[in-house]
Amino acid sequence: MESKTCIIWTVNLDKKKSRSEGRKIPKRFSVSNVKLYELVEACKELGIECVAENKKYPRCWWEETGRIILPKVDKKTKIMIKLAEKISELREKKVKRKEKSKKRK
C-alpha cells in the first residue's frame, strides 16, 4: 500500500551531509545549511501545502533540524530536487534585495 504523504527532513537536502548522514539527493542539486523556514517558504512558492514540525533528525539528534509533511504529488526524490532548486532561487533573490538596499543608502 502506497502512502499518500511524504516526510522531508532538512538534512535530506543539505549539501554538507553525506548519503549515510541522511542526504537523499545528489550534491549538484542540494543546498548548504537548509533551515525549516526555507523549506516551508519553498513549498509555498511551489504551491504545495505542508505541515512543518520542529523535530530532531534521529541520526543527528543534537543538531537543530526539522521536517515537513506534505502530500505525495510526485516521486519523493523529484519533490526534494524541486524544493532544493527553489530554496537556492529564494536565497539568490534575498541576496539581490540586500544589494539593492545597500546601493540606496
Give the tens place of pLDDT for each residue, 2-24: 679 999 999 999 999 999 999 99
Within 10 angstroms of residue 59's Cβ, the number of other Cβ atoms is 13
Nearest Cα to 4, choosing from 97, 79, 69? 69
Range of the domain at 98: 5-104
Triad 88, 5, 41: Cα angle to 5°: 25
Confidence label for 94 from pLDDT (cuts 50, 70 and 90): confident
Domain count, the chain: 1
pTM of the model: 0.86
Summarize pLDDT for 34-59 with one digit per residue, the tens: 999 999 999 999 999 999 999 998 88
Is 39 strand, coil or helix? helix
| Closest listed residue to residue 23, CA positions, set 40, 9, 35 | 9
Please state, in angstroms and rounded to a whole number, the distance separating the CA atoms of residues 29 and 56: 23
Residue 91, domain CATH: 3.30.56.30
